Amino acid sequence: MSNFAFGTYRISDYNPQHIESLKEAIASGITMIDTSSNYMDGGAERAIALAFRSFDEYEKNAVEIVSKYGYIQNTNMLRHQENPFDDVVEYSPDCYHSISKTFMQHQLSESLKRLERTSLDCYLIHNPEYYILDAINKEMDKDAMLDVMYQRLYDAFVGLEEEVTKGRIGSYGISSNSFSKSHKDADFLPYEDLLTLAQNAADSVGNSKHSFTTLQLPINILEQEGLKCAAWAKKNGLRVLVNRPLNAEYKGQMFRLAEYDESKDYYHHLNELLDVCDNETLRPMFNLFEELDSNKHKFGWVGDFDQFLYGQILPHLKTVLENIDEQNRETMLNFIDMFFVEYRKMVAHECANNTKRQLKEKFMSCYSTLQECALRFLLEQKDIDTILVGMRKPTYVHEVLSYKD
């Protein structure tokens, strides 16, 4: 049976609840924490370090830390603009990518500083298929594209084998969304030759045996193509870590495979906010909140709301708030903040109801919550070693661990 690990995709060192969740997970027996240099721009790694300060060396050593590198965003993007990194793929204006040896060395050093450690148990290349995606956009020949991809991976493996020799990492591997694609998909990343590349890299460094140990990929009850990769990995002595167990893409839509209670305080905060905005100056905000209330059931999944909030709602509110004095602006921000906390809960609740309706046939034999059925499906897969779950509240830690009982 698989084990659960703590995934830190949205964990921040500025959120005390996230730190407490990490502490609770460690105290409850979680033996792996998965993170990455780009999660919250390094904030996830800093949060892990803060949580570990509460434990002794024996307890710390019982937990494996897996981190990743590859993304050039936020702080890394600023550094790249001042002193460019090597072999960079400029995928989009706000997302560059590199798996070069020099970038890996830099990122590993930075991660070790944030994690307050001298070594990492396992270090993964994070989504190297960005090169493939970029090559597809440039209409590059497939065979030539894969030749370059394999060369890039080999060079990265050489660097990682060197880090194993130095003792800064125990082993390495790849985390790739493309491992879950069909072999027919243009952006599928072939995995059958990875062990040969790793052994060749080990030979060039002088290591008798390679230290390629781990594959990480998305698998969930709706996206099962990755089980083929998992079966290959287990057959070849690799371990399999699964991410996105509760965020699934199906028939072109994203679904959150979890149920949420309806907010008990939502209408109180909505009415309070509407009362405050019921004047000529704030009429645009009054209309906006009324419209949001009417449309809270129309989001495909809660991630759609998050994008809408940061991309459109908050910029609009900022423009309106610039027209009122500072003291009233602070008051309004408090009302708005409390409203959106409860509004997001309502959106999550409505999305869960929509998910249950749309996926009724998929969950026909499910007699528990969506999240329990989804996680139990993964627990029963013989080729999966570890399931990475985001547990941003201590109560989530206990809920997830209860599914193994």
Is there a contact between 391 and 11 (Cβ–Cβ < 8 Å)? no
Average pLDDT on 339-358 reads 93
Distance CA 191, CA 171 (A): 18
Q: Where are the domains of the chain?
A: 3-257+369-402, 266-358
**Would you state the torsion angle of the CA atoms of residues 383, 388, 389, 392, taken in this order, to the nearest 10 degrees?**
170
Q: What is the mean pLDDT of the chain?
A: 94
pLDDT higher than threshold 80 for residue 1: no
For the stretch 68-120, pLDDT in tens is: 999 999 999 999 999 999 999 999 999 999 999 999 999 999 999 999 999 99
Distance CA 54, CA 339 (A): 34
At 279 the pLDDT is 87
β-partners of residue 6 are 33, 389
- What is the b/e burial string over 14-28, where b = at least 16 CB atoms within 10 angstroms of the residue's CB? eeeebbbbbbbbbee
Among the listed residues 75, 4, 3, 5, the one whose alpha carbon sits nearest the alpha carbon of residue 39: 75
The DSSP call for residue 309 is I
CA distances from 143 to 130, 136, 186, 195, 258 (A): 16, 12, 12, 20, 41
For the stretch 63-72, pLDDT in tens is: 999 999 999 9
The CA R_g of the chain, rounded to the nearest whole Å, is: 23
pLDDT higher than threshold 80 for residue 405: no
Give the dihedral sign, CA 197/200/204/207.
positive
At 139 the pLDDT is 93
The amino acid that residue 64 corresponds to is E
For the stretch 201-234, pLDDT in tens is: 999 999 999 999 999 999 999 999 999 999 999 9
More confident residue, 11 or 323: 11
Distance CA 147, CA 159 (A): 19
pLDDT higher than threshold 80 for residue 2: no
Give the DSSP letter string of 210-264. Answer: --EEEEEEE--SS--THHHHHHHHHHTT-EEEEE-SSEEEETTEEEE----PPPS
Among the listed residues 126, 35, 47, the one whose alpha carbon sits nearest the alpha carbon of residue 89: 126
Distance CA 207, CA 155 (A): 15
Say if domain 3-257+369-402 classifies as CATH 3.20.20.100.
yes
Give the DSSP letter string of 339-363. Answer: HHHHHHHHHHHHHHHHHHHHTTTTT
For the stretch 169-189, pLDDT in tens is: 999 999 999 999 999 999 999
Distance CA 84, CA 103 (A): 10
For the stretch 282-310, pLDDT in tens is: 888 899 999 999 999 999 888 899 999 98
Is there a contact between 82 and 93 (Cβ–Cβ < 8 Å)? no
CA distances from 263 to 206, 339, 341 (A): 60, 11, 9
Pairing verdict, β 89-92 and 120-126:
unpaired
pLDDT higher than threshold 90 for residue 338: yes
At 302 the pLDDT is 87
pLDDT higher than threshold 70 for residue 192: yes
For the stretch 7-42, pLDDT in tens is: 999 999 999 999 999 999 999 999 999 999 999 999
Among the listed residues 128, 137, 139, the one whose alpha carbon sits nearest the alpha carbon of residue 88: 128
Structure tokens at 51: 């949580």
Distance CA 202, CA 157 (A): 8
CA distances from 275 to 270, 286, 291 (A): 9, 9, 15
Is there a contact between 242 and 217 (Cβ–Cβ < 8 Å)? yes
